[in-house]
Amino acid sequence: MTTLNRQALMDGIRDGIPIGLGYFVVSFTLGITAKHAGLNPLQGFFASLLNNASAGEYAGFTVIAADAPYLEIAIITLVANARYLLMSAVMSQKFSKDTPFYHRIFVGFDVTDEIFGITVARKGWLNPFYNYGAMIPALPGWSVGTALGIIAGNILPVSVVSALSVALYGMFLAIIIPPARQDKIILSVVMISFAMSFLAEYFFSYITAGTRTIILTILIAGAAAIIKPVKENSNRK
């Protein structure tokens, strides 16, 4: 491993530790849902290890508990996780043309909201070892937290477990505040996203959260790209 890759790996681990800790706490609630669906700790561990997505897993565990067929489980998981297709498309543009294909595949394995946030905030071309470093604490935090949530079951009051999920919002704030303070365009897009998300949930509650996210992402990001495009040279400094 070269010095540059080693440094990127360590940077990723550093930035991924808060995410992993947040995942550990938040996935506790998911583990309780998995227990109600009949999963044991080992099954919950691998479910979270291979599908690191809160909304997708929650939807999947819900239909599993309802004894739904495999096809319905696959479809609901795909719909709930469809927004990651957009995130992957954005991240693919951060790679240099010389990046091997297998690195793109491995990085795409764990594209989450938080890892996507810290990745796109980095300037210049994306070093895949940065994402690998972020995955090191993030994946175990999410999967182990799910397994422990299953073990705990209903020992903890639901209100206490739900209160712990506030950590997830703290992670989002830590991701968006630094770049928003440096760029007024990003700040404007963030504020518009907050407002549009609230209105969409209020007026279009019949649309799934994942679908709303996809629609808003395309509309808001597309409008921002047209109104205030980022110059290629300045983006690669």
The count of structural domains within the chain is 2
Three-state SS for 83? helix
C-alpha to C-alpha distance for 179 and 175, rounded to whole angstroms: 8
Q: Are residues 141 and 110 in the same domain?
A: yes
pLDDT in tens, the chain (237 residues): 788 889 999 999 999 998 888 888 888 878 888 888 888 999 999 999 988 887 778 878 877 887 878 887 787 778 778 778 888 888 888 898 888 999 999 998 989 888 988 888 888 888 999 999 999 999 999 999 999 988 876 566 666 656 655 655 665 676 677 777 887 888 888 888 889 888 888 888 777 666 677 788 778 878 887 887 766 554 444
Whole-Å CA distances, 69 to 64, 72, 75: 8, 6, 10
Contacts of residue 89, Cβ cutoff 8 Å, sequence gap at least 6:
none
C-alpha to C-alpha distance for 113 and 23, rounded to whole angstroms: 11
Query: For the chain, what percent of residues have pLDDT higher than 70?
Result: 85
The candidate with the shortest Cα–Cα distance to 117, out of 166, 167, 170, 171, is 171
Q: Are residues 84 and 153 in the same domain?
A: yes
C-alpha to C-alpha distance for 28 and 143, rounded to whole angstroms: 9
C-alpha to C-alpha distance for 147 and 1, rounded to whole angstroms: 33
Q: Are residues 94 and 169 in the same domain?
A: yes
Q: Please list the helix, strand and coil fractions of the chain in percent, rounded to the nearest 5, in that order.
A: 80, 0, 20
Q: Are residues 152 and 199 in the same domain?
A: no
Q: Are residues 72 and 165 in the same domain?
A: yes
C-alpha to C-alpha distance for 145 and 123, rounded to whole angstroms: 32
C-alpha to C-alpha distance for 225 and 4, rounded to whole angstroms: 31
Q: Are residues 197 and 93 in the same domain?
A: no
Q: What per-residue confidence (pLDDT) applies to 134?
A: 93
Q: What per-residue confidence (pLDDT) applies to 163?
A: 64
Q: What per-residue confidence (pLDDT) applies to 230?
A: 64
C-alpha to C-alpha distance for 18 and 39, rounded to whole angstroms: 27
The candidate with the shortest Cα–Cα distance to 84, out of 218, 226, 233, 210, is 210
Q: Are residues 30 and 84 in the same domain?
A: yes
Q: Are residues 112 and 199 in the same domain?
A: no
Q: What per-residue confidence (pLDDT) applies to 166?
A: 62
> Where a domain ends, among 178, 194, 225?
178
Q: What is the dihedral of CA 189, 191, 194, 199, to 10 degrees?
A: -90
Q: Are residues 22 and 118 in the same domain?
A: yes
143 class by beta-carbon count within 10 Å (0-12 exposed, 13-18 middle, 19+ buried)? buried
Structural contact between residues 55 and 80, judged by C-beta atoms closer than 8 angstroms:
yes
Give me the numbers of helices (H) and strands (E) for the chain, helices first please: 13, 0
Q: Which domain holds residue 101?
A: 3-178
The candidate with the shortest Cα–Cα distance to 182, out of 127, 123, 139, 231, is 123
Q: Are residues 132 and 227 in the same domain?
A: no
Q: Are residues 73 and 41 in the same domain?
A: yes
Q: Are residues 74 and 17 in the same domain?
A: yes
> Where a domain ends, among 151, 178, 205?
178
Instruction: Tell me the per-residue pLDDT of 115-131, one tens digit each, with 9 for 90 and over.
Output: 988 888 888 888 999 99
